Amino acid sequence: MNALEYNRFGPWVVEISEEDPVPPLFLPYVKTEESPLFSMKIPRREERRNLRPGMNLYDYVISLYQTELQILARTDDTVQQKHALYSDILGLSNYENLLDGRLFFYLVDQTYEIPYNTVSSKLLQKFITLIRNKYISSSGKQPPEYSGDFSDAQHGTVSYYFKNLLPLFLKEEAGLQLGAVQGEVQMGEKEPHLLKKLLYKASDKRLLESMHLTNGKEIVIISRGKLWGYRWQAQYGKEICYLPLEKTEGFECRNLESEKTVTACTIALPGSTHTFLFMNENPDLSFYKSSL
């Protein structure tokens, strides 16, 4: 390991270039017959004071080529590699909670979880945009116009954070339109049984907010990264899940046994499922009937 890489090392993800080359451990596994469209290296999660020149400083090298994605993962002093055609990528999910970031690849045979520091969010978003342009082949259909209203009580409470996030997201994502909204709902207010109502009030159980968008080719779900919240949990997380419509195998909505006022909707992909929740009376449930 040369001193230059050690001197430039930090907690951030780095786009590979002449100035920031492929780490030596990964070099024998990098394709030489083709230059990548984009390549990045993800550092190990270790405080700099515990690192020394000569150590392996990076856990992953991820590269996009013309027809495939390559993931190189370090385990001690060895490297495991995964090649996936874009047609084998079934979706992506990007979760951020303060400095903790996690990028998920949903492949035909497995799900890859790549941890990263959220100081690198912009670089990760560039990577996500590039790969989404590669793995969706269909032209899609015209998405329906959204006719709902954030202020509608049936949608629950939408946070200022999500309300402000939406126009920024739509500005960056040409073609996406809002299709459905589920705001945060205090479950104690909706529970008809007194004992359960008191329990929910004590625990402050809440159905967490989510926004659902489409461009006719993908369903994009912006959520808190979890379905429920409780009194002892502060909600700082944000997850954006990208699911290509052409890759979906099925869609199902059902009433929850434990929560009679809540409907669980599940999108099935080969090898993974993605569930989100709506209140039964939320009129935006009809969005999925017209989209899937």
Per-residue pLDDT of the chain (292 residues; tens, 9 = 90+): 467 777 787 889 999 998 899 999 999 999 988 999 999 999 998 877 788 888 889 999 999 999 999 999 999 999 999 999 998 999 999 999 999 999 999 988 889 999 999 999 999 999 999 999 888 876 777 776 777 777 666 678 899 999 999 998 888 887 889 999 999 998 877 767 777 778 878 888 899 999 999 988 899 999 999 999 998 888 899 999 999 998 898 899 998 888 888 999 999 998 889 999 999 989 888 888 776 6
111, 79: one domain: yes
Looking at 104, 135, 166, which one is the last position of a domain?
135
176, 280: one domain: yes
145 within some domain: no
111, 175: one domain: no
- Could you give the CA distance from residue 117 to residue 97 in angstroms, rounded to a whole number? 10
162, 128: one domain: no
- Exposed, middle or buried by CB within 10 Å (0-12, 13-18, 19+), for 115? middle
- The predicted model scores a pTM of 0.90
180, 265: one domain: yes
109 within some domain: yes
Domain count across the chain = 2
204 within some domain: yes
- Could you give the CA distance from residue 231 to residue 51 in angstroms, rounded to a whole number? 39
pLDDT given for residue 2 in this prediction: 62
Distance in Å from the first CA to the final CA of the chain: 51
140 within some domain: no
- Could you give the CA distance from residue 169 to residue 173 in angstroms, rounded to a whole number? 6
Signed CA dihedral, 113, 166, 125, 245: sign only: positive
128, 172: one domain: no
Helix (H) or strand (E) holding 251: strand 250-255
pLDDT given for residue 1 in this prediction: 47
Domain limits for position 77: 3-135
pLDDT given for residue 182 in this prediction: 94
177, 64: one domain: no
